[in-house]
Amino acid sequence: MSDAVIELAGLTKAYNVGTPVETEVLHGIDLSLAQGEFAALIGPSGSGKSTLLNIIGLLERPTGGRLSIGGRDTAALSEAEITALRGRSIGFVFQFHHLLPAFSALENVMMPAIIARGAPDDEAEATALQLLDAVGLKAHAHKKPAELSGGQQQRVAIARALALRPRLILADEPTGNLDTHTADDIFALLREFNRQTDCACLIVTHDPRLAARCDRTVRLVDGRLAADC
Amino acid sequence: MKLRLPFAPLVALRFLREGRMQTLLILAGTTGGVAVIVFLTQLITQLQAQIVDRVLGTQPHVVIRPLEEANRRAFDDPASTAVIEPRAQRLRSVDQWENVARLAAAMPGVTAVSPTVTGPAFAVRGQANKSVALMGIDAERYRRIVRMEEYMVAGRFAVDGTRAVIGSELAKDLGIRLEDKLRVALPNGRDELLQVGGIFDIGNKDLNRRWVFVTLPLAQSLLDLPGGVSNLDLTVADIFDAQAIAERLQGATGLTVDSWMQTNAQLLAALRNQTVSNNLIRSFVILIVALGIASVLVVSVVQKQKEIGILRAMGASRAMILQVFLIQGALVGAVGSIFGSLLAFGLLNMFSAIYRNADGSPLFAAELEPRFIVLAALVATGVGLASALIPARRAAKMDPVQAIRS
Ligand SMILES: Nc1ncnc2c1ncn2[C@@H]1O[C@H](COP(=O)(O)OP(=O)(O)OP(=O)(O)O)[C@@H](O)[C@H]1O
Ligand SMILES: [Mg+2]
């Protein structure tokens, strides 16, 4: 299993630990995702999909169990190492694009490189322009997020997630707020990038139509994996 | 060639630009605070310098006198059981004053030495009779102790033969004009007819009434002090070194040496109190400015939580987030201090035009020492940095998810 990009073993997550309202949201998840795999994460609302994705994306720490990314056990990593790993290896697409309103589309896409290398450079700009071109937004490169439509914003967010050519793409309902046509476009973009770079993708979606177009579907019910096919 | 800022300043500038109203508010607060500090400091420093200048304009920085009589006697004859009683006032000369003067002139920090013979006398004209202080001086040397030429209202500050210089009050009291004659009579019975070659107004009624300048030899003979001087007056380069120099001279000569700082202890205490209250006001202003910057930055951090979370999710470290907010604080402080200094300069100009001395000259000069501006900039930038620290650390500590969700 050396080509597993992520590997979860008995992973749990509880909120408000140590208080009377302590609730366990994830109850021992075992899951692995191989390089190049394109998987959908589905399940009813409140089943813990976002929580699971955030933990895999190193935005939150699990309460128990093991999480390895690229073969490294994340429990052993320091805060700084976690931050670096998150920046370099993971591209995250949020449900609500979460672009920086003060920066243009181009600058938003450049931002992961700016953070990783400390300052903007020509390479970051060239890559960002290329990605904006790939998502069909080259003409809008200098617009602020507020000047773009919802679908355009989400496409910028995808371009940003791809900026450092991460080994793993995590997308939390990236098409949740978009019409079917736009959603299909966004989905196709992710799929194409997955084919091009052989990165692993885990995409949360409520849309069975989209889930059916994935290599694999992971179903989460009440914090447990129900089926994996 | 594009100007490309590194991550932290890039984001800091964008955040400041985005929060336009808040940025303007903190800037205004910092500007006001710095202006008050610079204005007050400059004003008080200048006024104090003027007070000191005015006081020292009519007196020497350091005076060397003969030892007190009583001390000398007790010292000369320790076995003596004689009752030490104050002797009748009799003028005594500074022992070997030429040597002492040479020694004093050679001392580092001393810029001028002038011998003076002074004693009580009466100025008589017709029926009028006024008590005065006869001052035997070398006009050339005395000018370097008190800038008499600046105070002359008639004639010149020069003494020669029986030509004398008197004050404007005495001239008025006795109805004397330039080139008029004036008789001085001494308690020892001697007297002399002087011719007034100059009249001064030193800005002090008492001195204008009492001082009668004559040549050193004339005063020596009138006061029965042939070849002697009653004191040596000194000017020093840095007036606040006066006490130290006086102590050194006392050690070297064994004579009585007083500095203006001793004779004007009350003035010095008043100046110190003023400085203390000035510092107090400055501390409060700095505190208020710091609170202002900190509170607006706290609000900005809360408003920027989501963006901080996004940056963190993209791999920005805690240190990077910290830097973003520290730079914001420092920038606001630095820019505020530049505007503040300009505002202070404007205020100084305005006030110096409004408030004038009785003679119409400005009460203080509208000038700004570069030293103050640099200092104000350093303080304001430091305050900006320090007050940004708390909100910045808060921002950096947040979990990305927690930040994005809020
Ligand atoms: N910070 C938190 N504190 C306490 N409980 C939380 C917190 N975050 C999530 N939960 C709980 O965890 C459970 C799972 O939430 P999560 O957002 O992962 O669900 P989800 O599957 O993404 O739902 P949806 O499809 O609506 O987005 C929910 O019951 C939620 O109330
Ligand atoms: Mg969710």
Per DSSP, A37 falls in state -
* Tokens 């001028």 -> residue: B112
Per DSSP, B143 falls in state T
Mutate which of A12, A16, A49 to test ligand 1's pocket (most atoms within 8 Å of Cβ)? A49
Residue A66: helix, strand or coil by DSSP? strand
The residue ranking higher by pLDDT, B81 or B255, is: B255
Whether residue A25 lies within 8 A of chain B, CB to CB, comes out as no
Tell me which residue in A84, A100, A103 faces B315 most closely, judged by beta carbons. A84
Instruction: Decide if pLDDT at B83 tops 50.
Output: no
Q: Ligand 1 atom 4: the closest Cα is on which residue?
A: A15
* Residue A63 CA: distances (Å) to CA of A24, B380, B383, B396, B401: 9, 45, 41, 22, 15
Report CA B152 to chain centroid distance, whole Å: 25
Its domain, for residue A215, covers 37-61+83-228
Q: Where does the pLDDT of residue B76 fall: very low under 50, low under 70, confident under 90, or very high at 90 and above?
A: very low
Residue A185 is predicted with a pLDDT of 82
Q: Does A22 map to a domain? A: no
* C-alpha A45 to ligand 1 mean position (Å): 8
Share of chain B above pLDDT 90, in %: 36
Tell me which residue in B15, B18, B320 faces A115 most closely, judged by beta carbons. B320
Q: Does A16 map to a domain? A: no
Give the closest-approach CA distance of A10 to chain B in angstroms: 22
Number of Cβ atoms within 10 Å of the Cβ of A208: 10
Residue type, A151: G
Per-residue pLDDT of B7-51, as tens digits, reads 999 999 998 888 888 888 888 888 888 888 888 888 888 888 888
* Residue B255 CA: distances (Å) to CA of A25, B68, B271, B367: 92, 9, 29, 42
Instruction: Decide if pLDDT at B74 tops 50.
Output: no
Instruction: Indicate which atom in ligand 1 lies nearest the CA of residue A53.
Output: 18
Please state the rounded mean pLDDT for residues A77-91: 88
Closest CA to B165 of B216, B215, B98, B112: B215
Instruction: Indicate which atom in ligand 1 lies nearest the CA of residue B401.
Output: 1
Per-residue pLDDT of B248-275, as tens digits, reads 999 988 889 999 888 888 888 888 888 8
* C-alpha A218 to ligand 1 mean position (Å): 17
Instruction: Decide if pLDDT at B92 tops 90.
Output: no
pTM (predicted TM-score): 0.71
Instruction: Decide if pLDDT at B280 tops 80.
Output: yes
Q: Find the radius of gyration of the CA atoms of chain B.
A: 33
Q: Where does the pLDDT of residue B78 fall: very low under 50, low under 70, confident under 90, or very high at 90 and above?
A: very low
Report CA B320 to chain centroid distance, whole Å: 47
Q: Does A199 map to a domain? A: yes
Tell me which residue in A83, A86, A114 faces B7 most closely, judged by beta carbons. A114
- Per the structure, how many domains does chain A have? 1
Instruction: Give the N- to C-terminal CA distance of chain B in Å, as an integer.
Output: 40
Number of Cβ atoms within 10 Å of the Cβ of A205: 23
Instruction: Decide if pLDDT at A49 tops 50.
Output: yes
Which two structure tokens, joined as six digits, stand for B309?
Answer: 């979370």
Whether residue A126 lies within 8 A of chain B, CB to CB, comes out as no
**Could you tell me which chain A residue has the CA closest to the CA of B15?**
A102
For chain B, the structural domain boundaries read 7-54+268-405, 97-254
Instruction: Decide if pLDDT at A136 tops 70.
Output: yes
Q: What angle do CA B277, B279, B283 make, to 5 degrees?
A: 115
Q: How many CB pairs under 8 A join A and B?
A: 73
* B403 vs B310: CA distance, rounded Å: 8
CB contact under 8 A, A102 and B17: yes
Residues 6+ apart with CB under 8 A from A87: A112, A115, A116, A164, B314, B315, B316
* C-alpha A148 to ligand 2 mean position (Å): 24
Contact between B290 and B387 (Cβ < 8 Å):
yes
CB contact under 8 A, A83 and B15: no
* C-alpha A228 to ligand 1 mean position (Å): 21
* C-alpha A14 to ligand 1 mean position (Å): 11
Contact between B256 and B65 (Cβ < 8 Å):
yes
**The dihedral of CA A208, A209, A211, A212: what is its sign?**
positive
Q: Does A125 map to a domain? A: yes
**Which residues of chain A are within 8 Å of residue B400 when distances are taken between CB atoms?**
59-60
Residue B123: helix, strand or coil by DSSP? strand
Instruction: Give the N- to C-terminal CA distance of chain A in Å, as an integer.
Output: 18
Tell me which residue in B17, B316, B400 faces A115 most closely, judged by beta carbons. B316
Lowest mean pLDDT of B169-173, B211-215, B237-241, B291-295, name the range.
B291-295
CATH number for the domain harbouring residue A100: 3.40.50.300
Residue B85 is predicted with a pLDDT of 47
Q: Does A10 map to a domain? A: no
Residue B247: helix, strand or coil by DSSP? helix
Closest CA to A70 of A162, A164, A7: A7
Q: Where does the pLDDT of residue A202 fall: very low under 50, low under 70, confident under 90, or very high at 90 and above?
A: very high
Q: Where does the pLDDT of residue A227 fall: very low under 50, low under 70, confident under 90, or very high at 90 and above?
A: low
Residue B69 is predicted with a pLDDT of 53
Q: Does A223 map to a domain? A: yes
**Order of all β-strands in the sheet with A200-204:** A90-93, A168-172, A200-204, A38-42, A216-221, A224-228
Residue B73 is predicted with a pLDDT of 43
Instruction: Mark which residues 52-81 of A lie under 8 Å from B by CB.
Output: 54, 57, 59-60, 79-80
